Structures are given as structure tokens and as C-alpha cells.
Structure 1
Amino acid sequence: MGTDHFRNLANDYPKTKREYSGVNRFLNTSAFTRVLPNGEVVSCDWLVYSPAKTCVFCFPCILFSSDRSIKLCTSGDNDWKNITQNLKSHETSTKHIDSVLTLAHCSAAARRIDAELHKNMIEQHKYWKNVLTRCVATIAFLCERGLPLRGSNEIIGSGNNGNYLGVLELISQFDPFLSQHIRQHTNCGRGHSSYLSKTICEGLVTLMGHKVLDVIKQDILKSRYFSISVDSTPDITHTDQLTIIIRHVNMTNYEPVERFLTFIPISSHTGQNLADTLLQYLSKQNIDFTHCRGQTYDNASNMSGKYIGMQQILKNKNSLVDYIPCAVHSLNLVGQSAVDCCVEAVSYFGFLQRLYTFFVASTRRWRILLIHIEQKPHCLIPKHLSDTRWSARADATEAVFQGYQQFHSALEEIAADDSQNRDTRNQANALAKHMDTIEVSFICELWNDILQCFNQCSKLLQSATIELTTAIGLLKSLAQFISDCKEKFDIYEQKASDRCGNSSYKYESATCQIPKRKKHVSEGSAADAMESMTGKQKFKVNTFNVIIDQLNSAFKKRIEAYSTMQQRFGVLTEFESMSDDDIVAAIERLVGVYASDLSSDFYSEFCQFICWHKEQTKKKCSKEASTGIAQHMFKLMHKTGI
């Protein structure tokens, strides 16, 4: 076994005290190492310490030396004043070298008295290691894909034994080792080890999870600074859980990454409880919250509140934890506010849901729709609206936009089919007439343009490598697109008229009664301006302008939330377009906020960086199109050793 188990190494040895002319001396750990001429420090594995005799001994010489006059193999050596010289002299002696060689010769596995037992133990160790290798690979495969592991039983050969045992059975068809193991060690009942049981499986999952978490924590420690993103969501058992995600820079490839850490069950949604839960978890994982530099959540008041919200409570703990609203949530809220801003917009999305429900409620109606859809290439089937996935509205609108005529023809065929029941024919006729109106066609054109842009922007904002500057640029470009749409009313109207074959608005129809607003006595008898408007003007004022204005207002409000961060960090990526005075002012603001992170001479370093960056740009350094300028500069700095 060697000396590793009984060398009795310690930081200090108070019981070894000896006095030399009034000076106390002790054994110390340096006696167990030796410094080679080249400066390398090696361990003296042959030296052991006896707490009972408070002396050191030579392990090989105790066993094999025939010279019992050597102190290190009989009474031990405790002359701490001369211990270094004594040990050096002993180590280079012929008798010690002979003892070490004898020990090495006798320690060989083939010459041990338990050689057969040792050989069997090595084979067993290798055997079960091979079993575990296959088990771990199977678990990793299933977990990476989010597949369940266990079934209703653990019987090999059963169709209900779950994915874990099922995959192992499949592998065994091509792996003789695993096939033999399954034949010999499975379905043997309790008390027989097979390493394929649910207990071992769950234990391996737990160990692998801990290992993944440890790797993530090590990466966080290497990058030092990080930001947090949390949200609460109920699971399938209706248990509310807090999701904790950390975002940091990977110091291997110098790219920002997002890492999921854990789910934590919570019983309260107050900002204080959420903040306490997060801080307790970070403390338990030895993640220093003082290194946190950002926090982002949705726009719920318990998280984003300025006074008792989670973001303010955390900011009170660490003043540098700046709150940035989630860009994707902000974009979804912009669209939601526009949908709810007027009756026509709400009615349109209600119509999309009714259209979807009408066709999917009957296989016969669905078959009729598919026949009409197949007549036009790239035509989409109707989509269901989702309350949580905003992209579902874009998919539903695009389906109707692409197959407007096909949907209408299918509804007309169903309405004219005498074999259909009366309610079905009435519903089909009502939906078809709804599609005949220019208002529905107009809103379909408008929302398709808007939602397609929203959807593309939302996908980019959900990228793990998105930068704040890029996110703000995307939101601003989308806001500009919405503003430009306000001048396209006539274009949308013409497209809508061509699509539905109708150019009359509902308030211009002879059968439509125009609602009149009740006037107060103080208003007199003057004619109401709305009463004198045409149907087109009323639709433009009450629907089109309201949607566009609501979108513009919501965008302006949410883009302002990012302006502080943009003003603070914009100098790092926009210095080429800034004057020297603006750069000085921006750097002073940045150093003032992050005084604990940046040195006072950061400005001079940044000026040198600007010059270096210009030289690198002249050399046409490669720049990946998928990364932003900040990531590109960060990679370039590490690549060149700046």
C-alpha cells in the first residue's frame, strides 16, 4: 500500500518540541520534501512520522534493512536541529537505496502474497467501470434530449421498462460485453448488483448534475463578472419555481454565454422573497454577488418595481447591479398594447382564433381546407393563437395572409354544402362575409408586415450572444419601420381592396347604422366631426392611426429604459464617431460609476486602445458577421494578448 496512509503529515507538530540552548525547535513539513539542484521540489515518500514516539522513521529501512544501528529504522530520529542533514545523508546511503529497491521489487503486483486477489480486484474494477461507462453515456444521451429515463417497471425485455433500459437493450444487440452483462446480472431480484437499477441511475444523474454545476461555477469564477436573469414558472405539478440563469463571458472562446443553474420552489412572489431566495442560493454555491454587474427580468412590478421590486432590493445590496428590462418581453408588451388599443385590432385576432377553431373542429372541414390550400404553393395551414408565445400571432397572421383566397373559397364551399348542418353553414357564411370586408383584409396586410418584423427581431433578441448595443439598434430600427408605416395607408388600402375585392368600408354600407355619440348640453348643437367623416376616414383615425401611434408610444417608452446603459457603455463601441471631448466625458462617467473596477488612468489606457484598434483595422483583421463589435474587440484583445 505504500506510505500514503500513515505518513501522518500535518501543518504543524507541537508535540515534537525540543529545546536547544534556550531555542525551541519543532518538526515541520519541509522535512518531508527535498529540493533538487534545478529547484524542483519532490516528496520524500519513504519518510514517515510516528505520533506515539514523536520521531521520524525510514519506511523501507524498517522493513528490509539488516543494519539495526540506523536510527531511522530503530528508535527514530528527533534531532530537529540537524534533521535536514541527517535525512540527506541517509537518503544517499547505500543501505537505504538497497532497501528502497527491495521494497519496489516486493511491491510489484506479481510478487505480492495477495497477487491473485489483487488481479481479480483489478479485473472486477475494470469490468464495472466498463458497465458504468455505458450507463453514463446512455444517461447523457437521454438527458441532453430531455427524454424520460424510467418506465413503469425495471424488467429487461419488457416494453414498459423506460428509455434508459430500452437503450441499453438496444446497445447490447451490438455490444457483446453489455449483452453478456445483461444476461448474467439482470432480472435476478433484489440483492444482486447490476448497476442498471433505478437507484444507480438516479445516483448517476445526480452526480452528473453536480459535475455540470461545478464546471459552470468554475467558468463563472474565471470570468469574475456576471449578470443574472430570473423568472418564476409553474411546473407540471403546479409548483411555482424560480428559474435562475447566469450570463457571463466564456474565457475560453471569449463569447457571452447563458447558463441555467437551478429551479427553486417558491411560495411568495414578493420582491423581497424573490431577492432573498436568489441571494441565499448564490451564497450557498459560493458565487460572490459583489461581482454581479447586471440583472434582467420581465416587466412585472414585483421584479421591476423602483421601490420594493426585486431589482431595487438587489441594487441596495450591490449598487453596481444595474437593471435592464428583458428586450424580448419589452417587444412582446409593445405588440400586446397595440393589439388591445382598439376594437378592430382585438376583433381581428379573435377572428383568427375562430377561423382556426372552425376548421380543426371537424376532420371533414379540415380536408376541404387542405384541398384548397394545395392549389397554391407555400400556402400555410391556420395556426392557433398562444397567450405566451407572441410568435404564434405572426404565424397565424401569415397563414391567413398567404392563403386568404383559399381560406375564403373553403368557407364558401362549406357554406353552400347542403350536407353540412345548419350551424356549420351559418358559421362558414359568417366567417366568409367577415373576410369580404376591407377592414379585415386591411388589418391582415398591416399586421402581417408588423408581426413578421416583430418575429425576426424577437428571434435575434433571444440570441445568447446578443449585445445591448445591438438590441437597442434592433428596437430603434423596428420603431422607425412602424413610423414609416403611417405614411402607407393608401398602399395598404389598395392591397386590401385587391385581396378581398371590396373597397367599401362598413360605415359606408347602406345596411350599417352609424353610431352617434351622445352630446352634452355644453357642446351645443354643432355637428360632430366624426359624423361628417367617411368610412375610410373613420377607419384611418379610429383604427390605423391608433395602432401605429400606440406602437410608437410603447416603443419610445421602452427604448428610453435602455438609454442609460447606452450612454454609459456606448463609448466602448462608438468611439470612432465621437469627438475627443465626448470621449473624455464618457470615460469620466464610466470610471465614476465603476470606480472599484476601473483604475483612475483608464482614459490613457483607452486612448492607447483606440490607436491600437485603428492599426488592427488597417490590417483588415477578420470580423465574424455573427458577432457584435464589442465581442469582436474583446476576442481581438485576447487573441493578440492585449
Structure 2
Amino acid sequence: MEKYYKPTSRSSETESSSQKKARVELSPSDIIADPGLRKPIDEYDNEIRDQVRRAYLLNGPTQQIGHTFPRKKQGDHFRSFQESWFKKFDWLEYSVENDSAYCFYCYLFKQPVRTDKFGYEIFTRQGFNNWRKALDAFKEHVGGVNSCHNNARRHCQDFKNQRQSVSHVFTSHSKEAEIAYRVRLTSILHVTRFLLLQALAFRGHNETSSSSNRGNFLELLSWYKEKNPEVAKVLYENAPGNNQMTSPLTQKEMVKACAQETSLVILDELGDKLFSVLVDESRDASIKEQMAVVVRLVTNTSSLITIIVSNILNFIVVVCRFVNQTGHVIERFLGIEHVSDTTASSLKVALEGLFARHGLSISRLRGQGYDGASNMRGEFNGLQRRILNENPYAFYIHCFAHQLQLVVVVVAKCSSYVADFFNYTTLIVNTVGASCKRRDQLLQDHHDKIVMKLESGDIFTGRGKNQETSLARPGDTRWGSHHTTLVRLFTMWDSVLKVLENVSDDATNQTQKTTAAGLIEKMESFEFAFIMHLMLKVLGCTNELSRALQRKDQNIVQAVNLIVVTKQNLQHMRDNGYDELLEEVKGFCMKMEIPVPNMDDKIPARGRSRRDGQMVKYSHRYHVDIFLVVLDSLLFEMNEQFSEASTNLLKCIACLDPKDSFSKFDHDKLLELASIYSVDFSPFDCTFLRSELGTFISDVRNSTEFSACHDLATFAILMVQTERHLCYPLVYRLIELALILPVATTTVERAFSAMKIIKTELRNKMADEWMNDNMICYIEREIFAAIHDERILQRFQNMKTRKIQLSQISN
């Protein structure tokens, strides 16, 4: 027998097994939106080639609506690609990278033919860019019935129709099997919807049937099966062994289908509108850098978008802000994009890639807003400068909420008195909250005092009142945290002193005893009480502004007005508020038995010995050295940080403010605003705008419908409701441009919060695409919840070849 069968050694078996080809999987990075950067379809591995085709078919051809196509001289004239060609030729794709046109069908399904056929290489590999003869070339490429292009189109249609495939014919199932499959798939979709809307994890540690920790998806599906007899007939043991539809891959595909349909609804809202970008930075649970993009737009006939981009230390987050058909300002989240680093060049490349996948273009940008990081706001090499070099109409606005936080931080350190006060405040918070025991004592004592006051009638119950709370630590990067710290310290004053007394009495460490005793002495000083009341008033004023700036429907005109009002209030406080503050502090001190000094007595100047003879009155210390220094520093920083309000652009936009019957309306300034956005207002438009403005202002001033209008957002809504946006389209276009200018990165901050909910320490290994799909569905849950099941099921079916096909039913 040995002469017929050669013996094989164990080493040769191992060698042959190691030479087996590893399974090739499709990566999201393999799908490139720009047709000029794609590798040919025949260069993909055979195992994933059909997956690549389906991925591109789901995305559709890359057609940049609203893009400013570059012009180049061809013959005697300057010519460019025309957007109208997309409507005439549905197969047409455009590459921004190399300014060339491609054929979508030929790229995916071209058949081996003679290379002399016109368009075989031009429209698939090289790219066509002879715009002078474009229409003739496109028609010649389409050719006759049996042309290469039409054959590729037919192959595409057959490929999309899985019911006509050979595999479906050989594995055709009965009508009952299809109905059972639909019920099973719908049940899985309902479970997926619930988990996505609640931001719950899908997977468990062990998903076998005997496991007690199979994960939320399988556990909820089992519960669903028990509650619904119809579902029980088609799940688990009642489903074919090769069509259970509960694998991790199926779960991810269903979530991806949900996310893609949600994004499609958002992109339909965007259409061909203009937009702006806003960028911020943070970090996710796996210490990856992310960039988040938010889009803000005004949806109407010529509406505008704002894209707010945020950098989460290796991702970009995209959200859209827009004014819908009724004139309301809305913000939508588009997705996250992983970036290798946070340099301006990397952020721009990532942003361009994300734009390309969503059919957006940087040429449609009309604004940028960042938090102040040098890699973004840099005047010469930052992201905003790189975008401005490409599109000079993408005006940069520094995030107002971040600027305000910078003002608060500076004021918190403006003088040695205030800096010393916040140092002691931090020490108090740390000492009282150093252990669970002290925290419990603080909460219990505060609770007992609230109960006593309720029983005596000093305070009353009500919705949201008298909630359990604790001391909060101030942070330079947390909006409103300084004010929150002082409010809670003031509210829990007696309880804090009680805990410090307990620490001083019971602590075994002498350092802790000494520290607690010193803090009690410091708190029960007039200086500490005075600065606390002063900072409560000052930070309370800025905190109201901060919360107003973080509203989703906030616009640049209203934000500037709020800043002006805040400055006026602070100036009034500086000129007239000292005496009132002093009396308030004295009343507090008498209630808390804190000694009040005689304001005419003298004490050494701060930082001086009594022997130097440099003495000042108490009144001078509190009025000049503390009160005036804090208010002057605050006003100075407000003017420095919000210098944008004095720029020519915002001065022109301020003329649209409807307050006091358009008291700020300036005909020439609004014409100047149109000239600033010259790409959106042609010379012909400017000529008509001049007469339209005169008619417009007379109309709205004499109309009772606009008499009670006090802000631009409300005015835009009324314009649509009264259909005046159709009567004055050019004026409404100016209003839209003003509304989309970014004010704050609040939406991106909310996206960061959602990311922390979705990607936790226990789920810190989530892949970028999986996290992106979860975030889209969770953040835009209102849109996601309204999408019909059938749309998601059909997209899920088309993502790959399925064993059973669904008959499409109408929505």
C-alpha cells in the first residue's frame, strides 16, 4: 500500500494548515466615497467583492450637490463640471480629489471587453474631465442597448434583485417560511430599537443558551418570545438552524441598517443647503481621539446648514443644525470619525472624508466655531485657517460658551483675595467630602434642617424643590461649576460647619484637626462671607448667560444681545451695587453670628506688616480692593473675549434684530452683509435686494403680527407662517445666514455625554463603526423612532445575500 499512498508527516500537515488562506473581511475603510481614490473592484478579494458592491449600492453614486466645481480653461473658455448633469445621468459620479467624472455602474459591474471601447478605462480608472465635450461623451459612453455601460446597468439590477439569483432559485422557500422569517426579523428589529433608544449594551459575556449572562439582546428577545405566542413560533428552536438571526454579526447588521436609515432621513433634510462647522475636544472611555460633527441648517427653498465638529481625542462628531420648513432651528447628529491625531491637517482630512461620504462639500461652508484650541482656531495653520484658505466664506466664530467660561476662570483668579477665597473653598469641599462618612453626615444634617424648616413654615414644598444635594468641586473646564459650588456651599452652610466641627473633634490625625479648625475660622470671617456673596451675584449673572447660550435654538443676534445686556447689568452693579451688597452681607453675618467689622477702622494693607505703616480702612479693602477689582476685571475680560461682537460681520447681522420694531435696521449695512456673502448674492440679487429691503421694513413695521417679536429665531418662524419668506426671498436668505452662524458647541458636548453613556469602561472595546451606529440611533432617537420598520428591514435585506427574501410592502 505504501507505493500507492505516500505517508505524510505531522510537520507537513502543520505546514499545509498554516498555508491556508486567512478569511478576508470587509473593513469600513475599504468603502471610499471619492471615486477618484477607490481601488478597482477587481482588486478586492473574491470573498468580499460582492459585499463591496452591496456597500457601494447602499450608499449610491457620489454626487456633490451644491459643490463649487473648479473652473479651468478648455479651448477659448473656462469650463467646469455642471451639477445639472447629475439629474440627466443617474450613473454619474464626481471626484473632488482629481476633478473628474466616473461611471458608477461600470465601476461595480464592468465586464471584460476590448479595451478600445470608449469609456472602458476613462470612466472607471482614469476619470473623464474634458468638460467642453462632456454631454457628447456621456451619451457616447451610455451607447446602445448592448453597450458595456448598459450591460453593467443590467448586471447591477440583477444583482440588487436577490429573488432572481441562482442561489434563491435553488433554495426557494414557501410562503409560510417567508412569513415566519418576516415575523422573526421584525421581532429582532423591535428588540434592537428598544436597546438603541435606551443606549443599552447588546452583548453578554456568554451567549450560550445555558448562560445566565447572555446579554440584553438575547434576554429581551427571550422575554419577547414568552409574551408573544406568534413570535414564539418562529424563534430559537422553531427557527431553521441556519437562520436563527441572533448572531452578533446579525445584531450589528441590524443596528447598521437602523443607523443608515436615520442618517438618510437627516441627509434628505440637508439637501443642497449651506452649512458651518464647530469643533471641540474630549476623550472616550478607550482613550481614543474622536472628532464629532454637528450640522446646523435652515431648511427651506434656499436654506442653510451648520455643521458642528467636535474632536474627542481621536474621533470627529458630526451634528446638523438647521431651520426646518416652519422656521424652527434644529440640530442633527451625523456621526463620528476616528482620527490618528489632533493636528489641523489630520482633522481636515477626516472632515473631508466624512463630508464626501455624506455628499457634503467644504465649498458649502458658511461658518466655523471652535473652543479655542490652537490646532483649530490657529490664525495661520489651524483648522479654521486651512478651511478659510479653501473657502473664504466659512467665517470663524469662537464658541461663546467657552469664551464665557474663560472669563469666569480669569475672574476667579483676578485678585489675591478672590484666588485665596477659591483655594479655601476647594479645601472645604475636599475636606467635607473626603470620606463617605463625612458625606453622609453632611447630607443627613442638611436633610434634618430642611425638615425643621418645612415644619416651621420657613420653606415650602414644590416640584424640584429641596432636592438632596452635595458639595461640588469647581473646575476650569466645566461650565457653571464655580457658581454651582458656591450655591451649594451657601445652601448647606450650617451643615458644612457641623461636619467640620465633627472632623475637628473626632479626627485622629492632628493635621486634619488643625485644617478643619482653620476652615471653620475662615468661613466665619466677614471677608469670606463678603467675597462669597459678591461671587454669587457675579457668577450668577454670567451663569444665566451661559445657560442661555447653550440653548439649541440660540442664534448669533440673540447671543450678542444677551452679552450686551449682561455687560450693562455688570456695569450697573459696579456703579450702584456695593451698598446693597454690603447690607446683604451684614444681614447674613448677623444671622450666622459672624462679627462685622467697623468699616472706618484701619487694618494693614494685604501683604504688608503692621510695622510698615501701610494701613487702609475696611471700607477701602472691601469696596476698592475686592468689589471694584472683581467687577472691573470681569468687564474687561468680557470686552476682550467677546471682541467678535464688534466685528463688521456681526455689526451687519445685528441690523436684522427685530426688537423694538427693527430699531437697529440699517439699509446700507444689510447691503454690505450681502456683499460679504458675495457667493450667495450675485450683483443681480444685490440690485433687487436694495428695493426689497425698503418694502420689507415698511411691511413688518406696519404689521401687528411682528410687533411682539423680540428675537431673530421667532421672527424667522413668523416669516414662514405668514409666507413672507416667499415674498422677500433675499431678505430671508440673509436671516438664514445669520441663524446658522454657530454660537456654542453645546450639541457636541451633549454628543460627548451620549458617548459616555454608550461607550463605558465595561464596553471600552467597542469598534468605531459599532459605536457610531449606536450613537446615531440614540442621539437622533426621535427620527429613528419614527422610521417605518419596512424601510429598515429592506435595507437590512440588501446589505448582503440572505437565505430568505422578503417581499417589499408599502409603508
Does residue 516 of the first structure (1) align with residue 516 of the second (2)? no
The DSSP-based 3-state class of the residue aligned with 1:324 is strand
SS at match of 2:470: coil
1:419-568 → structure 2 map (5 Å cutoff)? 422-486=510-574, 487-500=576-589, 501-504=594-597, 515-516=607-608, 531-564=614-647, 565-568=649-652
Question: Is the partner of 2:280 in helix, strand or coil?
Answer: strand
2:716 corresponds, among 610, 613, 631, to: 631
- 1:339 and 1:569 map into 2 onto residues whose CA distance is 33
CA distance in 1, matches of 2:343, 2:708: 48
Q: 1:583 to 1:541 in 2, by over 3 A?
A: closer
Deviations 1:304-361 (A, max 9, x none): 2222222122112111111111111111111111112223323333333322222232
8 Å contact 1:507–1:514 — kept in the other structure? Answer: no
Matches within 5 A, 1:179-190: 179-184=232-237
* Alpha-carbon distance in structure 1 between the residues aligned to 2:659 and 2:502: 64
C-alpha contact (below 8 Å) 2:700/2:706 kept by paired residues: no
Deviation of 1:552 after TM superposition, in Å, equals 0.5
User: Match of 1:286?
Assistant: 359
Please report how far the alpha carbon of residue 508 of structure 1 lies from its aligned counterpart in structure 2 after TM superposition: 7.7
Compute the displacement of 1:589 (Å): 0.4
Counterparts of 2:602 and 2:231, CA distance in 1: 78
Q: Determine the C-alpha separation between the residues in 2 that align with 1:309 and 1:271.
A: 5
Deviation at 1:292, TM superposition (A): 1.6
**SS at structure 2 position matched to 1:262:** strand
Q: Deviation digits for residues 575-602 of structure 1, max 9, x if unmatched?
A: 975689x733113202212233221211
Q: Distance in 2 between matches of 1:555 and 1:152?
A: 53
Normalising by structure 1, report the TM-score. 0.71
C-alpha separation in 2, matches of 1:419 and 1:319: 64
Which residue of the other structure, out of 230, 241, 249, is the alignment partner of 2:279? 230
Work out the CA distance in 2 between the residues paired with 1:258 and 1:338: 32
In structure 2, relative to structure 1, the CA distance for the partners of 1:192 and 1:506 (3 Å cut) is: farther
The aligned counterpart of 1:17 is: none
The structural deviation recorded for 1:138 is 2.3
Q: TM-score when scaled to structure 2?
A: 0.57
- Contact between 1:438 and 1:505, CA under 8 Å: does it hold in 2? no
- State the shift of 1:463 in Å: 1.5
**Counterpart contact for 1:156–1:169, Cα < 8 Å:** no
Give runs of aligned pairs for residues 78-477 of structure 1, distance below 5 A. 120-156=173-209, 158-184=211-237, 192-221=242-271, 224-250=273-299, 251-374=324-447, 375-376=449-450, 378=466, 380-415=469-504, 417-418=505-506, 422-477=510-565
User: What is the DSSP-based 3-state SS (H/G/I as helix, E as strand, rest coil) of the residue aligned with 2:669?
Assistant: helix
Q: For each residue in 1:213-260, what CA deviation from the matched residue of structure 2 results, as whole angstroms up to 9, or x when unmatched?
A: 2222221115x1221112232221111112111111243333222222
C-alpha spacing 1:573/1:428, structure 2 compared with 1 (3 Å): same
- Residues 312-321 or 554-563, more deviating: 554-563
Does the aligned pair in 1 maintain the 2:184–2:231 contact within 8 Å?
Answer: yes
Give, in whole Å, the separation in 2 of the partners of 1:228 and 1:577: 32
Compared CA separation, residues 614 and 162, structure 1 to 2 (3 A): same
Equivalent residue for 2:654, pick from 558, 561, 570: 570
Q: Structure 2 vs 1, CA of residues 178 and 505 (structure 1 numbering), >3 Å: closer, same or farther?
A: farther
Partner AA of 2:555 in structure 1: E
Q: Do 1:469 and 1:570's aligned partners in 2 also have CA atoms closer than 8 Å?
A: yes
Mark the CA change 1:575 to 1:427 in structure 2 (over 3 Å): closer, same or farther: closer
The residue number in structure 2 matching 1:609 is: 696
Superposition deviation, residue 607 in structure 1: 2.4
Which deviates more, 349-358 or 419-428? 419-428
Q: Of the two structures, which has the highest relative contact order with CA contacts closer than 8 Å and spacing of 6 or more?
A: 2
Q: Distance in 1 between matches of 2:401 and 2:415?
A: 23
Structure 2 residue matching 1:260: 3-state secondary structure: strand
Q: Structure 1 residue 432: deviation in Å? A: 0.8
Q: Distance in 2 between matches of 1:569 and 1:485?
A: 29
- Pick closer, same or farther for the CA change 1:273–1:508 going to 2, 3 Å: farther
> Is contact 2:656–2:662 with CA below 8 Å preserved after alignment?
no
Alignment check: 8 A CA contact 1:437 1:505 kept: no
Q: 2-side partners of 1:144 and 1:197: how far apart? A: 21
Query: Distance in 1 between the 2:659 and 2:428 partners?
Result: 53
Query: Are the equivalent residues in 2 in contact too, given 1:185–1:194 (CA < 8 A)?
Result: no
Q: In structure 1, the residue corresponding to 2:281 is in which secondary structure?
A: strand
2:428 partner amino acid: L
Cα distance, 1:179–1:509 mapped onto 2, change above 3 Å: farther
Q: 1:630 to 1:618 in 2, by over 3 A?
A: closer
2:704 to 600, 618, 625: 618
Query: 1-side partners of 2:206 and 2:679: how far apart?
Result: 58
Deviation at 1:630, TM superposition (A): 3.8
| RMSD between aligned residues | 3.5
1:505 Cα offset (Å): 9.5
Instruction: Write out per-residue CA displacement over residues 427-483 of structure 1, whole angstroms, 9 at most, x where no aligned residue.
Output: 321221110112211121122222233333222211221111111111222222222
Describe the SS at the equivalent of 2:227.
coil
Give the residue type in structure 2 aligned to 1:602: L
Runs (5+) with no aligned partner, structure 2: 1-167, 300-323, 454-465, 728-811
Pairs within 5 Å for 1:27-66? none
Structure with larger Rg: 1
For residues 31-87 of structure 1, the C-alpha deviation after alignment (integer angstroms, 9 at most, x for no partner) is xxxxxxxxxxxxxxxxxxxxxxxxxxxxxxxxxxxxxxxxxxxxxxxxxxxxxxxxx
- Provide the secondary structure at the position in 2 that maps to 1:628: helix
2:296 maps to amino acid:
R
In structure 2, the residue matched to 1:46 is none
Letter in 2 for 1:231: D
In 2: Cα distance, 1:602 partner to 1:471 partner: 26
Q: Decide whether the 8 Å contact of 1:231 with 1:244 is kept in 2.
A: no
Give the number of aligned pairs. 510
Secondary structure in structure 1 of the residue aligned to 2:293: strand
Determine helix, strand or coil for the equivalent of 1:296.
strand
The one-letter amino acid paired with 1:255 is H
CA drift at 1:507: 13
SS at the partner of 2:401? helix
Please say if residues 656 and 712 of structure 2, whose CA atoms lie closer than 8 Å, have aligned partners that are also in contact. no
Whether the 8 Å CA contact 1:324–1:562 is kept in 2: the answer is: no
Read off the aligned partner of 1:227 and give its amino acid letter: S
Tell me the SS of whatever aligns to 1:294.
Answer: strand
For 1:590, which of 647, 667, 673 is the aligned residue? Answer: 673
Per-residue CA shift, 1:73-112, capped at 9, x if unaligned? Answer: xxxxxxxxxxxxxxxxxxxxxxxxxxxxxxxxxxxxxxxx
